[in-house]
Amino acid sequence: MGLKSDIWIKEMSKNGMIKPFCEKQIGKNIVSYGLSSYGYDIRVGNEFMIFTNIGATIVDPKCFDEQNVVEIKTDSNGYCIVPPNSFALARTIEYFKIPRNVLAICLGKSTYARCGIIVNVTPFEPEFEGHITIEISNTTPLPAKIYANEGIAQVLFFEGDEPCEISYKDKKGKYQGQVGITLPRVLK
């Protein structure tokens, strides 16, 4: 299994792996996004869910209470403020269709990390399809600004020597086909 280059990513995206797809890195006066040497920098949308304690409930991944989040929508060039020592969910602008012989890993961008804003490391399993729900942590004692329609994380692609035996689609993964911000769920 090896890390794939920009040429491979561009070729795979012609088959609909990433939509919309930006063939070069865009980065003047913004947090960069688009094709990079060995990955793709994804953008965050303009809808956010900020965690709050207004409902004074417990965060339970097996039974998530929607009172734990406040929904915020900005304009396409707006931003979201994540409170100090807090957390937000958002979604990517890009929609992914991961091939059966590919595993992708999402890592936070260093521009945000240098400000104490951390994006959860997460895999995109073979044959996952959908928008990516991004988890954004503000680890600082200060409010943090997240810019809509700009880069938030980088995705690295690894191609297997052969297709996997059981893909995310085969397992009927619980987040398969997600199109918006998807809250935690457990299959019953």
Count of alpha carbons within 13 Å of 9, Cβ hemisphere only? 27
Cβ proximity of 184 and 61 under 8 Å: yes
Report CA-CA distances (Å) from 19 to 8, 93, 130: 16, 8, 10
In single-letter form, the type of residue at position 61 comes to P
**Catalytic, out of 135, 150, 159, 165:** 135
For 40, the token pair is 């793709």
List, in order, residues 6 or more apart from 80 with CB less than 8 Å away.
48, 50, 72, 74, 88, 90, 145, 146, 148
CB atoms within 10 A of CB 107: 15
For 147, the token pair is 């810019």
Reported residue count of the chain is 188
162 catalytic? Reply is: no
Query: What three-state secondary structure class fits 115?
Result: coil
Q: In whole angstroms, give the CA distance from residue 129 to residue 149.
A: 21
List, by residue number, the catalytic residues: 135
